[in-house]
A and B are shown apart, each in its own frame.
Chain A
Amino acid sequence: MDLLQQLGDTFLNWEEMAKVIPSLLMVGLPNTLILAVASGILGSLLGLLLALMGISRNPAARWAARIYTDLFRGLPAILVILVIGIGLSPIARELTGSRNPYPLGILALTLIAGAYIGEIFRSGIQSVEKGQLEASRALGFSYGNSMRLVVVPQGIRRVLPALVNQFISLLKDSSLVFMLGLASSDREIFRIGNDAMANTGNLSPLVAAGILYLILTVPLTHFVNFIDNRLRTGRPEKKEPDELAAPIGKGAQA
């Protein structure tokens, strides 16, 4: 019984949790969302660019995209965040005049996410049937317009589930930015839980932080399943048989 109580106190000490919840919600949550959303959007743009380079007819563009992707997919996220965050901080300080590590954290997360999202977009775009590009070109659209209006939108639609998975991963990886050293008001969810744990020697604040992460990620996971299903089965709408004897073409009647 003693042991259970001890475990309960270590992980689920309500008092310690209650103390940390306000700063988790008021400081940690917005900061985590800023990191994840900003690098998610920028990473998607970078990923789209990489995907288009990857399928380009220009071999130099293909190679550049290939090397970039291999590099940033092949390195641990924490290494990229440290190298970018510390290595570029003098330049960032010069440019922005601030010591806030967020811009560099967002940059590092964007560079990593771009590599993964680029591969996701590329596989989606390449899965679109060749006939789509052909039909669009036959209408008179240029290659660029055909990609923009017809092929890319379909390709992206197909990989939305994989894209949301990538956002989930990004949301979690945003916690690694704590390595760059954050001022009290810049702390994200993990760092706040971690600091409280270090101060009290009790794990409950970290458990609270974990619960907050789950509140963010679990709905996203289910959202993935929902759109995945939706994409596979489409909206439930009945097909009608072709009206065989329908009046076809006004020309015949004239």
Chain B
Amino acid sequence: MTEFTSGTLTGKNLHLSFGHNHVLRGIDLHVEKGTTASVIGPSGSGKSTLLRVMNRLIEPDQGDILLDGRSVLKDNPDELRQRIGMVFQQFNLFPHKTVVENVSLALRKLRKLPKDRAHAEALEQLDLVGLKHKADVRPANLSGGQMQRVAIARALAMKPEVMFFDEATSALDPELVKGVLALMTDLAKGGMTMVVVTHEMGFSRNVSDTVTFMDAGVVVESGPPEQIFTAPSTDRLKGFLSDVL
């Protein structure tokens, strides 16, 4: 089984406003090394923004982010993001590069690997997601599910300590969701630390170690999946679950 050098990630009292719009209102999220935290909630609740704040694509107004117990807010944000892989709803593969170049680009330019080493490592990552045979085609010639698996390989190639998934299956046709979820399940079981923003309640319930329910920029409830899904204690979570299940 693939071994990951995972880290523990903690967000403390994170606040973010866009003008008068207070998007995050003091979020706490703790993801223990090697575990999977899923974040659920209605759209507009700040879930995707929380991910972007925790890898500092957007700088928080207030609060702290800790990786393995050490604050990373003073670090170079580019170096921090090399330690946190991210997978997007819209895949965001680079269309002007081949599949294998998508995966090897950061290895060459950031890890400074020689071209052939980077290529070989990228092929290895593609093999892990079952797409080595697509190495030389352009992303436009892949199905959505294949694109997302390439995007996962691209993020994994940097050997991140944490993986973020931002509604990774929301843009996929229903029949393609299964393959991507299976891959994510695999990573979770392999010991990767993961934060998964998702509308897939089945994944949240069966794969994640903790579930965090967000609404209107606050964490309303969090706990192990059995508790969240079978014994919700707030009306807001009860209402949300009855809407989506």
Contact = CB atoms under 8 A, between A and B. Distances in A.
Given A140-B106, A243-B130, A248 B81 contact: no
A173 to B, nearest CB: 31
B186 interface: yes
Contacts of B230: none
Interface string A210-240: 0000000000000000000000001001111
B128 A154 contact: no
Contacts, number: 114
Interface in B123-171: 127-130, 137-138, 140-146, 149, 151, 154-155, 158
A246 B134 CA distance: 13
A153 B186 CA distance: 35
**Residues of A contacting B: mostly:** loop
Contacts of B85: 138
A22 interface: no
B96 to A, nearest CB: 5
B143 A140 contact: no
Contacts of A244: 175-176, 178-179
B229 interface: no
A250 B158 contact: no
Contacts of A150: 94
Contacts of B144: 242
A127 interface: no
A137 interface: yes
A129 B88 CA distance: 13
Contact of A139 (B106, B145, B183): B106
Given A243-B130, A249-B129, A135 B92 contact: yes
A241 B173 CA distance: 12
Contact of B141 (A134, A239, A249): A239
B92 A254 contact: no
A47 B218 CA distance: 47
B81 A140 contact: yes
A132 interface: yes
A247 B106 contact: no
A154 B97 CA distance: 10
A149 interface: yes
A138 B179 contact: no
Contacts of A126: none
A250 B143 contact: no
A149 B183 contact: no
26 contacts: A131-B88, A132-B92, A132-B94, A136-B94, A139-B110, A139-B155, A139-B158, A140-B110, A145-B109, A149-B105, A150-B94, A154-B95, A239-B141, A239-B143, A240-B143, A242-B145, A248-B130, A249-B128, A249-B129, A250-B1, A250-B2, A250-B127, A251-B186, A251-B187, A252-B182, A252-B186
Interface of A: 129, 131-132, 134-142, 145, 149-150, 153-154, 157, 234, 237-244, 246-252, 254
Given A137-B78, A138-B155, 20 more contacts: A134-B88, A135-B93, A135-B94, A138-B84, A138-B85, A141-B106, A149-B105, A150-B94, A234-B140, A240-B143, A241-B143, A242-B146, A242-B176, A246-B130, A248-B179, A249-B186, A251-B186, A251-B187, A252-B186, A254-B1
